[in-house]
Each structure stands twice: as C-alpha cells, then as structure tokens.
Amino acid sequence: MELTGLFFYLVSVLIAGGIYAVLCLALNVQWGMGGLFNAGIAGFFAVGAYTSAIVTTAVSTKHLGGFELPIPFGLVAAMIVAGVTGWVVAKICVRLKSDYLAMASVGIAEILRLVIVNESWLTNGSLGIAGVPRPFGDLVQGREADLLYLAMVWLCVLAVYILCQRLYVSPWGRTLRAIRDNEDSARAAGKDVDWFRLQTFVIGCAIMGLAGALSAHYFKFLSPSATEPLLVTFLVWVMLMAGGSGNNKGAIVGALAIWFIWSATEIITSRLPPEWITRSSYIRMLLVGLLLQFVLQKFRSGLIPEKSPKIRSD
C-alpha cells in the first residue's frame, strides 16, 4: 500500500509539474525568446482558470456561468480570453523599456487580482467557484481519474512544446531573438519591433491561460486565495532561469526540477516538530529565493542552455 500511495503522490507531483511546465514554456516565449519581463504571470494564469471554470460549470446564482460547455472549449476559451487580456496589456505597455515593463507588469497582476476579488457577479469574489468539472468525470473517479488527468496535462505540455519549438526555429522566432539581442539593429533592419513584441506577449499570455485552465479542472475549485500569486510567478521565473531561458526543453526540465525540489522539501519539512510546521513554507520560500540568486550568479545559462550563441553580454 505504501508503494501505491507513493505512486499516486508522484502522479500528483507530475500533474502540477506539467502545469508549471506549460507556464514555464509560456514565460520562455515572452522572456527567453522575446526578452519581455513579466511579473504578472499569476494574473494571466488566473484569467485562464476563471474563464474555463465559468464556461464549463453548471448554472449558479453566485457567479456568471451555466454554459456547461465541454472542457476542450473551456481550454480554448481560456487561451482566447487570456490572450485578449494580454493583447490589451501589450497594446499599452509593450513599448516600455525593460525595467519599466517590469514595473508595469506588477500593476497588471494587481489589477487582474482586484477584478477577480471585486467582481462577484463574475467570479463569486473571494468565495470562489466550486464544481469545476474534470474530464470524463462521470466515467472515472478517484485515483484513476488522476492518471487520466496526468495524461491530458502532459499531452498539453507536448502540444505547447511543439508549438514553441516551431516558433523558435521559424523566421518569426529568429526575428524575435534578433530583437531581444539587439533591438536597435533589428529596428534598423526594418523590423516592426513593437508588433513582434505584441505578438510574443499575447502568445505567452494565451499559454499561461491554458495552464490556468488545466489547474482549475484539476483542483475542481478555485478562489483568489487558493494560490499565492506572487509565489507562482516567482517559482516560474526560478524554473526558467534554472532550466535555461531561451530553450524550450530547458523550460520543461527546469519546471520539473524545481517542482521536484519544491515538493521534496515539503516532505522533509512535514517531518519537522509541530511548532515549525506552520513556518516550514516560509523556509521553503526562503530557500527558493536563495536558489534563484545562486542560479543568477553561477548558473546563468541553466541546465539546458540555449544553443545559438547569445549576443546578450553574459
């Protein structure tokens, strides 16, 4: 029994790891390829989660809903709404230079959070949305359902990976990297830098929305306080830096590696004396914060570095 328990624990780690891999691939499009700093990952993730939840749940008096659409529609809707949100944001902010964009993205995350908390008619405010369906929820339940969901999540990871890989090697991706490494010369070569950036930002946000939807259908419930937005955003950044920004494989490997470390520390800290248990999550956060500093200083190209030589001065 111990062994099956461990197996299904591993399944749950891999599901969450897969969702983080999707987020990490999305950030790799924005930062790794496009050089766009985004500190608002959790915001677009939440937009996706709420969108998919709203279009797939049964009628409720507490929030907008009752569309009861099949889950694939939910995923697509999540990508569209998160992408459109990203487009609105990008339309305003994409011209901002690196540090300014970083500051603006903090504000974007904050505004998205405010909307979710305050617009109860849409999201049921801080009480959240319950009864988000799982795929084939009528057919399989319990642990088998987790296995099925694991397959679905990693199918999504694969699809997003193939998409990102195609983007990376396409002429579009090459132009993007040229802009990232030397904006001025790309501009001089007649590239519409702002247009490329806008597309990059929107694609990244749409993928973040997909990750949000995947998480909503996994947990079947979502509320503004279920996840800590800053921690999600931060973990994704650490994952990408550790995995190797600019490399899609690196993004997936980094997501898994950091998520395994994060989950393993949970096991370790759960054995601490009770008075320390409540504080254990802070110790873990502290360690991840320190890990990022280590990666930034000593391990900047990551586990799987980007292949083409970077022009960025490293």
Say whether residue 308 binds other proteins (CB under 8 A).
no
CB 40 within 8 A of CB 112: yes
CA distance 143 to 146: 5
272 lies in the binding site for other proteins (CB under 8 A): no
What is the CB neighbour count within 10 angstroms for residue 87? Answer: 17
Q: Which of residues 142-171 bind other proteins (CB under 8 A)?
A: none
Contact stretch for other proteins (CB under 8 A) within 68-76, 91-99, 186-194, 249-257: 91-99
Please measure the distance between the N-terminal and C-terminal CA atoms of the chain and give it in whole angstroms: 50
Nearer CB in complex with other proteins: 61/293 = 293
| Contact status, residue 58 vs residue 196, Cβ threshold 8 Å | no
- Alpha-carbon 215 to chain mean position: 10
Write the CB contacts of 95 (distance below 8 Å, at least 6 apart in sequence): 194
Q: Which of 138, 184, 275, 314 binds other proteins (CB under 8 A)?
A: 314
Residue 268 touching other proteins (CB under 8 A): no
Please, what's the largest Cα pairwise distance for the chain?
65
| Contact between 230 and other proteins per CB under 8 A | yes
Among 26, 47, 82, 93, binds other proteins (CB under 8 A): 93
Can residue 241 be called a binding residue for other proteins (CB under 8 A)? yes
- State yes or no: residue 2 binds other proteins (CB under 8 A): no
Which CB sits closer to other proteins, 4 or 278?
A: 278
Interacting residues with other proteins (CB under 8 A): 37, 39, 92-93, 95-100, 102-104, 106-108, 110-111, 114, 117-118, 230-231, 234, 237-238, 241, 279, 282-283, 285-286, 288-290, 292-293, 296-297, 300, 312-314
